Amino acid sequence: MKLLTRSRLPRVDEPIEVKALVLDWAGTTVDFGSLAPARTLERVFAAKGVRVTDAEIRAYMGLPKHVQIARILALPRVKAAWREAHARAPGDRDVDDVYENFVPLQTECLREYSRVLPGVPEAVERFRGRGLKIGTSTGYPREMTDLILAWARKEGYSPDSSVTPGEVGWGRPQPFMIYENAVRLGVYPMAAIVKVGDTLADVQEGLNAGCWSVGVAATGNLVGLSEQEFGALPPADKQERLRSARAELARAGAHFVVDYVAELDAVLDEIDRCLKAGEANEAAV
- Residues with active-site annotation: 24, 65
CA distances from 185 to 19, 98, 133, 135, 182 (A): 10, 35, 7, 8, 5
Orientation angle between helical segments 200-209 and 176-185, nearest 10 degrees = 60
User: CA-to-CA distance for 195 and 213, rounded, in angstroms?
Assistant: 5
Residues 60 and 71: their CA atoms lie apart, in Å, by 7
Question: 10 CB contacts (<8 Å, ≥6 apart)?
Answer: 189, 190, 191, 210, 211, 212, 280, 284
The per-type count for the chain, helices as H runs and strands as E runs, is: 14, 6
Q: How far apart are the first and last CA of the chain?
A: 23
